[in-house]
Structure 1
Amino acid sequence: MADFTGDPYLVLLNDLRLIPISHYLLASLAISLAFLYCFLEFHFLHDLLTGFRGCPVALTYNSSSRIYHDVVSKCRILHSRYLPTPWLSGPHFQTVFLSIFGRAPAFNYRRELFHLSDGGTIALDWLLNSDDDITPIVLAIPGLTSDSESPYIKHLAFNTAKKGWHIVVTNHRGLGGVSITSDCFYNAGWTEDLRAVIHHLHHEYPNSPLFVVGTSIGANILVKYLGEDGDSVPVAGAVAICSPWDLLIGDRFITRRLLQKVYDRALAIGLQGYAQLHQPIYSRLANWEGIKKSRSIRDFDHHATRLVGKFETVDTYYRRCSSASYVGNVSVPLLCISALDDPVCTREAIPWDECRANTNIVLATTNHGGHLSFFEGLTAAGIWWVRAVDEFLKVLYSSQHMHVKKVASPHPPLIGDSSIDQGPYVNIAEDGMVAAVGNEQVEENMVEDVLEVGDIKHSVERDQQRSQPELDPLGGIVESSEQAIKSLDVTLPVRRCLGLLCRRSRWSLWLLVYIGIVTSWPVVGSVLKIALQKKRRG
């Protein structure tokens, strides 16, 4: 046997040869698992150790929210746990699986071409159940470069139609196989197309409740639209799935780590493919050479979106089109669903406090789910958020909290209702305290004064009508008029006024008595003096 004492490296190599190959394989497997767990956020071991119980759904809402107490509290899915498909235990696995496979159900849409006022064209793809005009309608808004054929949209459409509702998918301009017919393109904050489509649906189906579901960029457009229009939207309820919320934060996040840069590059390739479909218009309105060289979403937005949308800078575009600043003005029941491990839309952009402050919003977050994936079951045949949306809309539809569009009164205000004549006024209490009186109290006092000092005859007639509600029309009028004449007393108005003064302030009554005595004493004294003198002479 050779002597390796002189060279320690040779001794080490000789000892390593003595270790079985299987041990090396086990060590490689352990290192690979550690890499998958840390780098790819693989959580299979955690699910195994917890008995595949899944993670609870965290709900963020205002404590006085009727949407939560009367609607979401009745949603069993939102109060249960979400367990991802075991062999897709990771946000990246789920997101990639959705993009490549998706396992979408097979069916065909009925297409409607909707023409916009600027000459643009949008494809509305319908999945109908009946021909009546009262069945609820769900409007779905796809994400970036997605259309009605995207797997997650088809899952949503199939489940919605299965419960007997209509669903229509509004494809973004230039998608769904429809060419660009104007110089206008969609972007992450372009709400004009959505506003026009919703107005069209509300006009064509005025008796059908309209619900809207936005996904990814479509969710950002939806929330921004709801915040822009407030109470005037004809939407009964809405759901936002995996919204980016703040585009500026999302831009910083997607360029931070290596895996996020992979998603950034993949989305940029999708945008370049979209631009390639409409090259003649992009070549005229944007920087085509810059579009072809774009390696990220920000590059594409710099060379295309910024120029077409007429934004000064890319950051200006991101700030103006972010929906987070519009959350506070949402007046429609809105359910927001996001995964905390979303590899595209970071949790850092979620407006937690704004959602909690708005009584119309309930935010549901899960620890896992990826971006729009949320696969569940051993075969990954279903998507969890699709079931949650289906249940939420069903409970909302059966409740009294569906939003109704606020319509301004077409009649001009009366002169008496002018704001110039309205409160606040000053009221002096009995103890001398001065307080402001609102419009309601002033109107109540005015009505009371009219009833007490006004026409006594009408007051008596109304009292008689209340005491005898089942009189003959002609006989009742004659009888009540006769009773009013009999009960008419010339001193009644004076007594009513005195009673009113007593209720207003007892000090005012005594002051009035004092003034009356002082001012009338000379006359009363003279009369008494003459009366006494005549009595003495007699």
Structure 2
Amino acid sequence: MATAVEDSAAELLLRAAALVPLERYALAALVLAAAFLYRFLELHVLGDLLRGLRGGRVALTFHPDSQVYHRVAAKCRSLHGRYLATPWLASPHLQTLFLGIWGIPPSVTYRRQLYTVRDGGTIALDWLLASDREAADGSSCDGTISSDDSTPIVVVVPGLTSDSTYVKHLVFSMVSNGWNVVVGNHRGLGGISITSDCFYNGGWTEDIREVVNYLHQKYPEAPLFTVGTSLGANILVKYLGEEGESTPVAGAASICSPWDLLVTSRFISRKLVQRCYDKALAIGLKGYAKLHQPVLARLANWEAITSSRSTREFDHHATCVVAKYETVDTFYRKCSCANYIGNVSVPLLCISALDDPLCTREAIPWDECRANKNIVLATTPNGGHLGFFQGLTAGRLWWVKPVSEFFSALHDSPCMHRQKIQEHGLQSSMESSIDKGPYVNLMEDGMVAAVTNEDTNIHDSLDKRTVSEMEGSDGMINVQQNGSTSVLQDESHSAVKNTNSSEDNVAPAQGLVGSQEQRKELSTDKIRDAIAPVKKSINQLIRSQGRSVWWLAYIAVVTSWPLLGALGFFLYRKKFRNSLPAKRLLRG
């Protein structure tokens, strides 16, 4: 009976479902598919509509006392506005794919220069001069730069595939502002063969170092600015951290940097859509390897390289073998630019999108950027990876304008970096800044001030200088030339030695005794001078704090007396009981 009822209920449901038109089912399927795609593609059309199509606000992260922000970034209108993506590209994945497939780049014609580095490798430098832009308008142009030309030069460090669509947007914008631009293609890219056993990777900074030094030596009057995009941004920031104050770069910009290669590697292997990007990047890397198979097959296992299905596998079989890293994680950790943020001494603008499908927001070093006064970090809610398309026709990239404004304001400000030659090695980014001031000095007014190691070195040098002056007063002069020291006798000593041989053995002894007495007196005076301010400050502290100390002692005695009385009564309660009058009366 129950089975019959159940069958009848199932039949009723099927009949009811059959009564629903097929159009309703198709509509429901479309709604579910749209919801899935909206979630899968991370569309933000509804969010843009709720914000009134104004776009998301640009968030800035910087040090409160940063002169780079107050004098440079504060003048950039794009950094204090909003970014609205192209409506039909309202997705980080759509923006990234559209940039790689189409991108609508401006028409740019480069002048190529082949530069050979010290290890024999060849780099293609693609130039576009401001005079080329003027020549396109009808004026004459010889295509050269004089050595005394002061026109700023922008050096572009491209991403994984070297010169791309987005690079042409940047080049065209900077040349339109009257600046010269050179794109430094990575080794083996740009149609250039590998001419040495060195391949570029995410942490290879030797090429950008040589190119920057070469340009600075050839055009010493031209300020150098650098822009790094994607993997090139990681290389650029790492280079700036390695060089510190000694780099000739006047200003820099980092666009969509991966920051931490280890975190980024784990991110792109986490979800389905990220794994698609990972496979696409691996295919591109294998294509790069096939271009240079004769060299790479001699250095690594070619079969393992061609069978790589992810960037991590490619780095394991190719990058770590050629660059001699122990493991892939070691390579990622050592080559991540986040480790070098603290040493960056150049005004640096960093731009990242929080919805970047390749370089996750989890790798952004927020605190490190906030602690460095030379860095301004700009983040937008949307933009994808290097996309940032604007307008209905997607003809502009938003990040190009902030970079242009930042460089123009920096060029007109005193914050532009000047190269400083350092005698000592760079301080590591992992080294604590507390080590710079391990000592304290008690001032005459009772205040405590830090004394750095540099101050102690200065005092040591002054003491050495005083000793040398004392030795000079005794008739001995130290002359230092080309690292060698020679001792010369004073003319008076030589005259005495030549005129009176009997006094020859006595005068030096007397001079030595006199010099020792002078040294003792000088050291005693130094000790007195050093102790005097300490004594004075201690006396001031005693006079000013004496009354407070007595009040504290009085309060301590008054407040602790009941506790001490109770404790004494508890410890000696038997003696107190035996000494009570009632006990004596009972005994009597």
Superposition pairs of residues 150-169 of structure 1, within 5 angstroms: 150-169=164-183
Give yes or no for contact 2:123–2:186 (8 Å, CA) kept in 1.
Answer: yes
Q: 1:4 to 1:21 in 2, by over 3 A?
A: farther
For the pair 1:62 / 2:63, whether they are aligned, the reply is yes
Q: 1:11 to 1:336 in 2, by over 3 A?
A: same
Q: State the partner residue of 2:94.
A: 93
Q: State the partner residue of 1:330.
A: 344
Once the two structures are superposed, residues 252-289 of structure 1 have per-residue CA deviations (whole angstroms, 9 ceiling, x without a partner) of 11111111100000000000000000000111001100
Q: State the partner residue of 2:159.
A: 143
2:352 counterpart SS class: strand
Q: State the partner residue of 1:398.
A: 412
Once the two structures are superposed, residues 137-189 of structure 1 have per-residue CA deviations (whole angstroms, 9 ceiling, x without a partner) of 11111111x222x1001111111111111110000000000000000000000
Instruction: Pick from 365, 368, 372 the counterpart of residue 386 of structure 2.
Output: 372
Give yes or no for contact 2:440–2:449 (8 Å, CA) kept in 1.
Answer: no
Q: State the partner residue of 1:30.
A: 31
2:130 counterpart SS class: coil
Aligned-pair distance for 1:64?
0.5
Amino acid aligned to 2:106: P
Once the two structures are superposed, residues 227-274 of structure 1 have per-residue CA deviations (whole angstroms, 9 ceiling, x without a partner) of 001000000000001111111111111111111100000000000000
Q: State the partner residue of 1:407.
A: 421
Q: What is the distance in 2 between the residues matched to 1:380 and 1:212?
A: 26
Larger mean CA deviation between 65-74 and 38-47 belongs to 38-47
Give yes or no for contact 1:4–1:11 (8 Å, CA) kept in 2.
Answer: no
Q: 1:434 to 1:54 in 2, by over 3 A?
A: closer
Give yes or no for contact 1:427–1:436 (8 Å, CA) kept in 2.
Answer: no
Percent of aligned pairs with the same residue?
Answer: 60
Q: State the partner residue of 1:13.
A: 14
Q: What is the distance in 1 between the residues matched to 2:445 and 2:113?
A: 71
Instruction: Pick from 141, 150, 154 the counterpart of residue 134 of structure 1.
Output: 150
Q: What is the distance in 2 between the residues matched to 1:220 and 1:408?
A: 24
2:240 counterpart SS class: helix
Q: State the partner residue of 1:303.
A: 317
Q: What is the distance in 1 between the residues matched to 2:449 and 2:70?
A: 41
Aligned-pair distance for 1:435?
12
Q: State the partner residue of 1:451.
A: none
Give the aligned length: 430
Q: 1:245 to 1:408 in 2, by over 3 A?
A: closer
Q: State the partner residue of 2:303.
A: 289
Amino acid aligned to 2:333: R
Q: What is the distance in 1 between the residues matched to 2:450 and 2:167?
A: 59
Q: 1:54 to 1:13 in 2, by over 3 A?
A: same
2:52 counterpart SS class: coil
Aligned-pair distance for 1:37?
2.3
Amino acid aligned to 2:255: I
Amino acid aligned to 1:322: S
Q: What is the distance in 2 between the residues matched to 1:241 and 1:27?
A: 42
Q: 1:5 to 1:247 in 2, by over 3 A?
A: closer
Question: Could you list the runs of 5+ residues in structure 1 that have no partner in the other structure?
Answer: 410-423, 445-500, 509-538
Superposition pairs of residues 174-189 of structure 1, within 5 angstroms: 174-189=188-203
Q: What is the distance in 2 between the residues matched to 1:277 and 1:175?
A: 9
Amino acid aligned to 1:37: Y
Tell me the TM-score normalised to structure 1 length.
0.75
Q: What is the distance in 1 between the residues matched to 2:363 and 2:408?
A: 29
Q: What is the distance in 2 between the residues matched to 1:425 and 1:45?
A: 59
Q: State the partner residue of 1:45.
A: 46
Aligned-pair distance for 1:34?
1.4
Question: Could you list the runs of 5+ residues in structure 2 that have no partner in the other structure?
Answer: 132-144, 424-438, 463-528, 537-588
Once the two structures are superposed, residues 309-334 of structure 1 have per-residue CA deviations (whole angstroms, 9 ceiling, x without a partner) of 00111111111101101000000000
For the pair 1:266 / 2:289, whether they are aligned, the reply is no
1:213 counterpart SS class: strand
Amino acid aligned to 2:28: A
- The runs of at least 4 consecutive aligned structure 1 residues that moved more than 6 Å come to 424-428, 433-444
Once the two structures are superposed, residues 467-504 of structure 1 have per-residue CA deviations (whole angstroms, 9 ceiling, x without a partner) of xxxxxxxxxxxxxxxxxxxxxxxxxxxxxxxxxx9xx9
Q: State the partner residue of 1:459.
A: none
Q: What is the distance in 1 between the residues matched to 2:12 and 2:60?
A: 61
Q: State the partner residue of 1:255.
A: 269
Aligned-pair distance for 1:400?
1.0
1:236 counterpart SS class: strand
Amino acid aligned to 2:343: N
Q: 1:425 to 1:15 in 2, by over 3 A?
A: closer
Q: 1:15 to 1:116 in 2, by over 3 A?
A: same
Q: What is the distance in 2 between the residues matched to 1:15 and 1:243?
A: 57
Q: What is the distance in 1 between the residues matched to 2:315 and 2:253?
A: 27
RMSD between superposed Cα atoms in Å? 2.9
Give yes or no for contact 2:245–2:422 (8 Å, CA) kept in 1.
Answer: no
1:369 counterpart SS class: coil
Q: State the partner residue of 2:114.
A: 113
Once the two structures are superposed, residues 178-222 of structure 1 have per-residue CA deviations (whole angstroms, 9 ceiling, x without a partner) of 000000000000000010000011111111111000001100000
Once the two structures are superposed, residues 331-353 of structure 1 have per-residue CA deviations (whole angstroms, 9 ceiling, x without a partner) of 00000000111110111111110
Q: What is the distance in 2 between the residues matched to 1:392 and 1:87?
A: 29
1:7 counterpart SS class: helix
Q: State the partner residue of 1:350.
A: 364
